[in-house]
Amino acid sequence: MTDQTITPDIAPTDAMPVPQSEAEDEHTHAGVHDANLHHSPEEIRREMRVYLTVFAGLAVLTGATVAARFLLHLPLRQAMALAIAIACMKGFLVAGFFMHLLTEKKVIYGVLILTGIFFALLLWLPVHDVLDKFGHY
Amino acid sequence: MDHAAGHVEIPYTVSPRPDTGLYNGKLGIWLFLASEVMLFGALFSSLILIRTGSPSWPHGWEELHVVPATINTFVLIMSSVTVVLAWANLRLGNFKLGRIFIGVTLLCGLVFMGIKAYEYSLSFAHGHYPSTSDFFAIYFTMTGLHGLHVLGGMIVFAYFLGPGSKMWHTDRARFTNRIEIVGLYWHFVDLVWIFLFPTLYLL
């Protein structure tokens, strides 16, 4: 995609008027703003190039996942570790760049940390069970 | 708010709340996604329990169809980039291009579901059903639930491509935010598939 294809045919969103009540709120609570709504067109175009780079990275990592399985012939444990590691890298790219978690608000990090704790607990239960079994057999 | 006219405006649909720094819809979708993490987390937890508790476990690549699943992975990744490009174009005020990218995202969703249906038909042709084994039970449950999420996202994209797009002409910033919200949901669906694919098909 070139910059020509994304040339705006109408005024950018950032310049759009907001309802009066919300405009008042912005003035009342100065300093609070959503970064995603206040980027310049140049910044947005730069973001778009980043998205395309991330897409290329995800495509390469997907190919690597399949190639690692069929070309490396690793033992199951190593294959598992490698597959999960690549999946985590892909997850980081999607969450960090596409979902903008690298530049999000604190309240979202708070929600996700709490979710992460419960999620870890949820996965720990079966892992604990497995370790318990190995301990007995 | 104009109470006299009986018109109550929903607050913080565009501008951020001072306490959270976010417009309400964005916080709402993240809370929803947090609940979704727990839903799929419970299924991944079940997979670990069933797999480790089973005396034997088949190789995913021998029982399932890796090629269509790999193509589906590429399709879903592509749809993730098209939805984020749709949002970026709407922020630039380019409704036409934004709409095209929403349409391409919807098309990617359709292709994903078509390939998934083909994959299921191959499994059924080989006599593999959810009742066949623990492996196929968890495979159909997880991919089926994921497919339902893809379908849900497609319905929302179809709405924003059709009747929902009217909002662009009355409240552009709010429409743009709506695409960001459905985009966040769509990326989550992609994220789940990123972990489902190697776990079920390659290990």
- Interchain CB distance below 8 Å, B81 and A98: yes
pLDDT of residue B102: 98
pLDDT tens sequence for chain B (203 residues): 445 556 788 889 888 999 989 999 999 999 999 999 999 999 999 998 898 888 889 999 999 999 999 999 999 999 999 999 999 999 999 999 999 999 999 999 999 999 999 999 999 999 999 999 999 999 999 999 999 999 999 999 999 999 999 999 999 999 999 999 999 999 999 999 999 999 999 88
| Residue B12 forms part of a structural domain | no
Q: Which residues contact A132 (CB under 8 A, 6 or more apart)?
A: none
pLDDT of residue A75: 87
Q: Mind listing the pLDDT tens digit for each residue in A6-47?
A: 434 444 444 344 444 444 443 333 333 444 556 899 999 999
Residues A110 and A125 in one domain: yes
Count Cβ atoms within 10 A of the Cβ of residue B11 and give its class: 0-12 exposed, 13-18 middle, 19 or more buried: middle
Residues A57 and A120 in one domain: no
- Tell me, rounded to whole angstroms, the distance of Cα A58 from its chain centroid: 12
| Residue B175 forms part of a structural domain | yes
CA B112 – CA B71 distance, rounded (Å): 9
Residue A32 region, left (φ>0) first, then alpha (ψ -120 to 50), else beta?
A: beta
Residues A100 and A133 in one domain: no
- Interchain CB distance below 8 Å, A98 and B88: no
Does A56 contact B at CB distance below 8 Å? no
- Interchain CB distance below 8 Å, B34 and A39: no
Residues 40-69 of B with CB under 8 A from A: 41-42, 44-46, 48-49, 52, 61, 66
| Residue B11 forms part of a structural domain | no
Cβ neighbours of B175 in A, within 8 Å = none
pLDDT of residue A18: 45
The mean per-residue pLDDT over the stretch A109-118 comes to: 95
Q: What is the pTM of this model?
A: 0.85
Residues A81 and A135 in one domain: no
Residues A70 and A115 in one domain: no
**Full residue range of the structural domain in which residue B98 is found:** 24-202
Residues A32 and A13 in one domain: yes
pLDDT of residue A124: 87
- Interchain CB distance below 8 Å, A5 and B97: yes
- Short-list B34, B21, B35, CA closest to A113: B34
Per the structure, the count of domains in chain A is 2
**Full residue range of the structural domain in which residue A63 is found:** 3-104
pLDDT of residue B5: 59
- Angle separating helix axes B172-196 and B134-161, nearest 10 degrees: 160
- Tell me, rounded to whole angstroms, the distance of Cα B53 from its chain centroid: 31
- Short-list B92, B170, B100, CA closest to A48: B92
Question: What string of DSSP letters covers A72-84?
Answer: S---HHHHHHHHH
| Residue B3 forms part of a structural domain | no
Residues A29 and A96 in one domain: yes
| Residue B6 forms part of a structural domain | no
Query: What sign for the dihedral angle of Cα A115, B147, B180, A54?
Result: positive
- Interchain CB distance below 8 Å, A95 and B187: yes
| Residue B48 forms part of a structural domain | yes
Residues A87 and A115 in one domain: no
Residue A136 binned pLDDT confidence (cut-offs 50, 70, 90): low
Phi, psi of B2 (to 5 degrees): -110, 85
How many C-beta neighbours within 10 Å does residue A20 have? Answer: 10
- Interchain CB distance below 8 Å, B180 and A94: no
Q: Which CATH number fits the domain that encloses residue B190? A: 1.20.120.80
Residues A29 and A43 in one domain: yes
CA A64 – CA A90 distance, rounded (Å): 11
Give this complex's ipTM. Answer: 0.91
First vs last Cα of chain B: how many Å apart?
57
Per the structure, the count of domains in chain B is 1
Does B144 contact A at CB distance below 8 Å? no
Residues A48 and A110 in one domain: no
| Residue B47 forms part of a structural domain | yes
Q: Give the Å distances, CA to CA, from B139 to A84, B12, B70.
A: 18, 41, 16
Residues A115 and A66 in one domain: no
| Residue B5 forms part of a structural domain | no
Cβ neighbours of A69 in B, within 8 Å = 61, 198, 202
Residues A46 and A64 in one domain: yes
